[in-house]
Each structure stands twice: as structure tokens, then as C-alpha cells.
Amino acid sequence: MSARRGPGDETRASQVQAAGRHADESHDTPTGYDRQRATERLEQLDNLIEAAEEATRRASEAHERYLRTEDPADLDDAEHERSLRERAVAEAVTGWDLVGRPDSHAERARALPGFERWAAEAAVDPETAEAFAQLARTERTSWAPVDLSDALAGVDVDPPALWQRSDGERFVYAGRTHWFQGESESCKSMAAQAVAAEVIQAGGDVLYVDFEDDDRGVVARLRAMGLSVDQIASHVTYVRPDEALTDRRTGKVTAAQLDLQAVLDSRSFTLAVLDGVTEAMTLEGLELNSNADIAAWIRALPKRIAATGAAVVVIDHVVKSTEAQGRYAIGGQHKLAGVTGAAYRFTTERPLARALGAEPVEGTVAVTVVKDRPGHVRSRTADGRVGTLELTSWPDGGLTVRLAAPGETTVRIDLELVGRILDYLTVYDGATSGRIEKEVAGKTDAIRSALRWMAEPRREWVRIERSGNAHRHHLTDAGRAELDGRTEAV
């Protein structure tokens, strides 16, 4: 008896041809098929493959029974059973119905590059599966030889691109992982959020994966640093995970992998912040003191995100005992070994608190480098000291975070001086910097710092406009309202 073709064979054949054309086109373009990412995405669907394989086996058995059926009376039942089994395969491949997932996940799954290949592995038609197998054999693994052209040509790692110090030097590398580590309340999260604010002000996008705080806390900090609601809404993607990426019992990836990949595919992030290593590893059922578990987690999340080109900042704690701290954070030493960018220690010198009265409250934190794999950072430090993280909490709820170069003296904002400048601008609106420095009582550095502080986006009491080689300062409505409030208070 000749083999009979199933009702979906022609459709699958056309899908194979289309997938083949897509793969060929992708290999021909610089931004095309990425074998590593496709493989990761296939692994993300591993929990569905098992269900699809079982459905395939049953469908194949039903198909064999159908081919052996000679009694016409039995044909309808056999065909019906086979069609049901094939439908089960289709559901496993495209609908997630077998595991009770919503249809939106199916849409995401179908959009994944390499998805057709995975579908073929669960297909009943052996010709379809073989066609995709041929495509799969054109892929490369990470064990293939590395192209040494850049290394032989002397192309160096790009210097750090983010986290600008007061002298213009930067300390966070693009596309690499970094560790911000310190004791509780050492302001390491604030430092990472300050880097995020820097990126957003420049128009870049930030991914914030938060295992410790919540969205309100992070948004409040960014707002206090001067970012607008629109800036945060447009440039920040906030994730607060409560599910593991991998099932600790079976070792299979979970549906959370699809959500994570969808986030990474949604935009090109300049910076990613992973806040809370201890909580992140505990969520995955991993041991903090196991170097193998640490390496697995770094591969699964920080390095995976860094591979997209984003600079990754991981926020971690050190043990409280100074003698026991060593060079790395809580847990195994592989946390430091797994850093591809730089690792920084944060040591509180003066604790920061909220400004509850009329005066600002200042805090300072020493920042030192404990590892610099590419080697660009240490030459910019003073015996390993990157600088001082200067934080000022203002009575109006604002927060200023500044990385000052070693040995640099910071001028504290004099609020009485601010009042004198506001008074002066009510009479001499549009005055230049030189004129204000000459005619308002106060030290030059203090006046300049006060003018910059008054012009920050959160306040905008003063608008600064360039006029030739001069900068003119105009009192804004917000500045007049502040001055009126000061007058009423008196």
C-alpha cells in the first residue's frame, strides 16, 4: 500500500521552504541569523518540546495504524484519532494549550528566530523534520574557531563609556559586566541609579531588574535626581521577578525565559541594572557559596544581557566583618572572576539621610576599584581610589549624586547665597555669569555651583542661555515662586 499524505503535509512543506529562504537571507546579512541567540531561544522552549514529542509519538502511531487499516469502516475513526494527535502537536508548538499558557505566549513563541526549526522537531512529517535538520547543520557552536582579525590588528577594548566622574573620566564599559559591592546603606544602588539617570538624560534606554526594591522606590529616586515622568516612562523598562528562569526540580527552562527574551528584544538597552544578587540566586535555587552555581547564574543573566551590547551593573552585598570581606562580595570568589568589566567597592564615609529640616544633608562614599579586566580604569585612579561619591539630599526632596575625582574639593550649596542670586535676578534678569559673580556677595566657586544647582531640571529656577561667549541667566516662573515663598516665610 502506498503511503498516504496527511492533510497538513503541503502546508508544512511550504513552511519549510519559507524557513529555508529566511535562513539563507539571514546568513547573507550582517544583522541576520545569530546562532547563539537562536539556540538559547530553542532551549527556552525545552519544557514544551517534551509535550510535543509525546504528542508526535502518539500521532505517528495513529498514522501507522491508519496506513495498516484495510476495513473501510475503521478508516474514519483512525483518521479522526490521527487528526486529533496532530492537532495536539500543533497546540504544543504554537498555542501552549497543553501547558495552560495564554495565547499571547504563543504569539511570542512564533516570533522567535529559529522557532520553525523547533517546530519541525515536533512535526509528524519526517521530510519536514529532515529539511530543518539540514538547516540546523549550517549553524556554528561556541566551539568553532574564533576570528582573530581584531586581536591581530591590535584592536583594543573600548574604554569605559558610562558613569562620568567630575573630571570627565568614565568607569562603566559597554557590553560588559560590572559589580557594585558594599555593605548595606553604602549607596551602591543610588550610584547605579545615577548611572541610569545619566544614560536617560542622554536619550538611552535602561533595563532595571529589581530583586530587592519595588517600582515606586526606583521611580522616586530617579524623579528626585531630576528626571521627568515622560523620560522615565519612555526610557526605563522595569522588571520585578518572582519566578525562576529555570525549574529547580526538573532543570527545564520556564515561561519566564520567554518574557525575559521578549524584554531583551523590545529595544536596544544602553544599561542594565541587576539589583540584588543574593535574592536573584536564591530565586533560582542556587547556592551563594558554590562557584559552579555563581558561574551558572552569571552566564544565565548578566552575561546574557551584556551580549546584547548593554553595560550591566550588578549590585551586591559584602559581609559585615571588615576582616572577612576580602576582594569580592558575599559568596564564592567566582563573582569576581566572572566580571568582564570592572568591580567597585563602596565604603561609607558619611551616611546619607533625608533632609527633614531647612538645610540639605550630605553623605559621602569612597569608591575603589577591586578588579578591572580590560585595564582602562586603574590608570584613572589614585592608588585604586576612583573617587568620592557625593550625595546631597535637599529639603525640596531632590537628590544630587556626583562622583568627584580624588582630591577634589566640593563646594556645598549655600541656600542663603541662592536667595541673594534670586533677588539679584529679579532686578537684573539675563545677567551674565561674570556679572553675577562680581555683584553678588559670595565666593566664585560657590556662586557657580549655586547657579548650576538652580538650573537643574528638578528646579529650573534659572534658565541659562548662551549668548556669544557668555551665558545669560533668566529667572523662571518657578524661581519667582521660590522667591515669593522665601519672602512669605520671612
Which CATH number belongs to the domain containing residue 480 in this structure?
1.10.10.10
Residue 2 forms part of a structural domain: no
Same domain, 351 and 427: no
Same domain, 438 and 383: no
Same domain, 262 and 317: yes
Same domain, 124 and 273: no
Same domain, 362 and 241: yes
Contact 132, 20 (CB under 8 A): no
Region class of 409: left (phi > 0), else alpha (psi between -120 and 50), else beta: beta
Residue 102 forms part of a structural domain: yes
DSSP 309: T
Whether the model pTM is above 0.85: no
Residue 461 forms part of a structural domain: yes
Same domain, 259 and 199: yes
Question: Which residues constitute the domain of residue 441?
Answer: 415-489
Same domain, 381 and 236: yes
Residue 298 forms part of a structural domain: yes
Residue 151 forms part of a structural domain: no
Same domain, 89 and 111: yes
**pLDDT for res 256:** 83
Same domain, 264 and 390: yes
Same domain, 368 and 281: yes
Q: Which residues pair with 471 in a beta bridge?
A: 466
CATH number at 338 reads 3.40.50.300
Same domain, 345 and 424: no
DSSP 398: -
**pLDDT for res 330:** 54
Cα separations (Å) of 297 from 86, 325, 412? Answer: 38, 22, 43
In a structure prediction context, what are the per-residue pLDDT tens digits for the chain, which is 490 residues long? 333 333 333 333 343 333 333 333 333 333 333 445 544 545 544 544 454 455 555 555 655 555 565 554 555 555 555 544 444 444 444 433 333 333 333 444 444 444 454 444 444 344 444 443 443 444 456 777 888 988 898 888 899 999 999 889 999 999 999 999 999 889 999 999 999 999 999 999 999 999 988 899 999 999 999 999 999 999 999 999 999 988 777 777 777 887 888 899 899 999 999 998 999 999 999 888 888 889 889 988 999 999 999 999 999 988 654 444 445 555 556 678 889 999 999 999 888 888 887 778 888 899 999 999 999 999 999 889 999 999 998 888 889 999 999 877 565 678 889 999 999 999 999 999 889 999 999 888 788 878 888 887 778 899 988 787 778 999 999 999 888 877 655 4
Domain boundary among 350, 374, 404: 404
Same domain, 383 and 484: no
Residue 207 forms part of a structural domain: yes
The residues near 80 (Cβ < 8 Å, ≥ 6 apart) are none
Give how many domains the chain has, as a whole number: 3
Domain boundary among 383, 404, 425: 404
Domain boundary among 362, 378, 404: 404
Residue 148 forms part of a structural domain: no
Residue 271 forms part of a structural domain: yes
In this structure, are strands 177-182 and 311-317 parallel, antiparallel, or unpaired?
parallel
Q: Which residues pair with 387 in a beta bridge?
A: 367
